[in-house]
Structure 1
Amino acid sequence: MIQQDMDNSVTTQEVEISAGISPDNVEEILSMIGASGLFSPDEMASAESLAWDSAYGDGSGPETFLKATVTEEGQETIIGFICFGPIQFWPGDYELYALAVDPQFQRLGIGSALLSEMREIISYEGGNRIFLETKPGRAFESARIFCEANYFVHEQRYMKQLVPENGGLVYRYDLATENAEDQHQ
């Protein structure tokens, strides 16, 4: 990964993506979510609950956290994460609950790498589709562009478990499609 610093110097750091979070990671993840400014108080509470459950869980919970980290001077820092899980009563379908990348590391492919790793895991588990919801409005325009750039398509029909709130949009990624370009309708 290449990062341009404030003084225009360029540094290269290795990014590691790994599954699972520890209790020590929760505050870092919650700070990243809060810094995005895109999560409502209810969504923050849900994210906090998911994070603590995952951090203290025995691995049997339905949600999966993947974190992207860099290590500097022996100190590991989370620079991005993704959380997803199966949709209850929809065999083979998953929902992407949250994805965030530290602003200092955005536009470097970290979010796309996390999505790619998530797709690999879901495919390995026999999953067929991934859904996500994003809100309307200008604040979420970058999120929608990111989804579409990563071959998620706007879902034109809604299912009862994924009815968007307040004019939100549901996106779908079909894992069964051999060629991602076929995702665009």
Structure 2
Amino acid sequence: MPIRPLSGEDIPALRRLLDATRVFSSEEVDVAIGMMEEVVGAEEHEDYAMFSFVDDAGTVRGYYCIGPVSFSRTTFDLYWIATDPELHGKGIGRSLIEHCERYVRSNSGIKIVAETSSRPAYDGTRRFYERCGFVEEARIRDYYRTGDDLVVYTKTIEEAR
């Protein structure tokens, strides 16, 4: 099951996938789609890169968006990661994280930062990050709204050899 750079043909399927997760608001989905369109429309994009997970039938089943943190030489933000909810627990998310780690290492990075919400809808997301070796590094109370904290996870990966 290959992971490849996101293409414009992936965007409609990824919109459906993001909607199907039922955790992202319509505004969040619009932001993700806008970022995809920006990356696809650029010959080279310095702020972030996007990769799609495509199954053997050619169906897009997940994606992630990663980019270097401004003014950091070794840290990357994991802006988005999403997988087809019908296939949760099948290893797609872990494959995307492993690909992400290789991408970060190949770009001289050693740390990945992922931010998420403390809402119950994101319990599975937080457990996923923890199973993939991320640790909760910080929490900002009432960040998104009262009772909805920003939870910051980090993962330090081995330096490229």
TM-score range, shorter chain: 0.7 to 0.9
Cα gap change, 1:165 to 1:176, in 2 (>3 Å) = farther
- Higher percent of residues as strand: 2
Pair 1:136–1:157, CA change in 2 (3 A): closer
* TM-score, scaled relative to structure 2: 0.87
Alignment partner of 1:165 is 2:151: no
Rounded to whole Å, the distance in 2 between the matches of 1:129 and 1:86 is 10
**What are the Cα deviations for residues 22-47 of structure 1, in whole angstroms up to 9, with x where unaligned?**
22111111111111122233322221
**Partners of 1:91 and 1:79 in 2: how far apart?**
31
Identity %: 23
CA distance in 1, matches of 2:73, 2:31: 23
Number of aligned positions between the proteins: 155
- 1:51 matched to which residue of 2? 36
From 114, 130, 144, the equivalent of 2:126 is 144
1:31 aligned to which of 12, 16, 22:
16
SS in 1 for 2:133: coil
Cα distance in 2 between the residues matched to 1:165 and 1:31:
25
Structure 1 residue 62 and structure 2 residue 47: aligned?
A: yes
Q: Output the aligned Cα RMSD.
A: 1.9
Match of 1:168, SS state, is: strand
Aligned equivalent of 1:41: 26
AA matched with 1:48: I
> What are the ranges of 5 or more consecutive residues in structure 2 without an aligned counterpart?
none
Answer with 1 or 2: which has the greater Rg: 1
Distance 2:92 2:156 in 1: 21
Retained in 2: the 8 A contact 1:54–1:61? Answer: no
Assess if the C-alpha contact under 8 Å between 2:50 and 2:63 holds in 1: yes
Q: Which runs of 4+ in 1 moved over 6 A?
A: none
With over 3 angstroms needed to count, the CA separation of the structure-2 counterparts of 1:155 and 1:67, relative to structure 1, is same
1:88-103 alignment to 2 at 5 Å? 88-103=70-85
- For the pair 1:17 / 2:3, whether they are aligned, the reply is yes
Counterpart selection for 1:117 from 99, 112, 119: 99
Distance 1:104 1:125 in 2: 32
- Comparing 115-124 with 83-92, which one deviates more in the overlay? 83-92
TM-score (norm 1): 0.77
Which structure would you say has the larger RCO, counting Cα contacts within 8 Å and 6 or more residues apart? 2
TM superposition shift of 1:176: 4.1
